[in-house]
């Protein structure tokens, strides 16, 4: 893949990561604010939905590129990891909120990398299959 196209895909991955970061804040982390009325969706369901979004976004990016395995999941997760990592540093590593944020970061990273790996595997399988 040429360098300009790869740079565009890097920027696209970061933009997708920023959009997903907004989803994480709006749907998962906003629970700590009492003034916001959220729908009665259980927290576990919201976390699973966000993990699935990360896996799907990374898988689609990897599927279209056909050039990486799990790295696109890391690139998509990077904005969220940076922001949540700074939050964990500022709150201290032993506070309850920081531990929950660290668990969420690990889950998001794992889901995105797994989705990216699966997307690249499907792309390689599709390329290897003879045309019908």
What pLDDT score was predicted for residue 66?
Answer: 61
Which phi-psi region, left, alpha or beta, contains residue 130 (left: φ > 0; alpha: ψ -120 to 50)?
beta
Cβ–Cβ under 8 Å, residues 14 and 78: yes
Cβ–Cβ under 8 Å, residues 115 and 125: no
For residue 35, pLDDT over 70 is answered with no
The 10s digit of each residue's pLDDT in 49-94 is 889 999 999 988 888 876 667 788 888 998 988 888 887 788 776 7
The 10s digit of each residue's pLDDT in 4-30 is 777 888 888 889 888 888 888 877 766
Helix, strand, coil percentages, rounded to 5, for the chain: 80, 0, 20
Cβ–Cβ under 8 Å, residues 58 and 115: yes
Spatial separation of the C-alpha atoms in residues 111 and 113, rounded to whole Å: 6
What pLDDT score was predicted for residue 110?
Answer: 93
């Amino acid at each position: 893949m040429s360098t300009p196209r790869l740079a565009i895909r890097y920027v696209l991955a970061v933009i997708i990561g920023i959009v997903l970061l907004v989803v994480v804040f709006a749907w998962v982390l906003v629970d700590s604010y009492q003034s916001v009325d959220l729908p009665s969706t259980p927290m576990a369901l919201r976390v699973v939905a966000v993990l699935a979004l990360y896996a799907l976004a990374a898988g689609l990016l990897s599927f279209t590129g056909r050039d990486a395995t799990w790295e696109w999941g890391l690139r998509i997760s990077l904005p969220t990891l940076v922001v949540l990592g700074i939050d964990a540093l500022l709150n201290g590593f032993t506070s309850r909120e920081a531990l929950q944020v660290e668990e969420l970061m690990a889950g998001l990273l794992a889901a995105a990398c797994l989705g990216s790996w699966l997307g690249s595997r499907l792309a390689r399988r599709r390329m290897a299959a003879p045309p019908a």
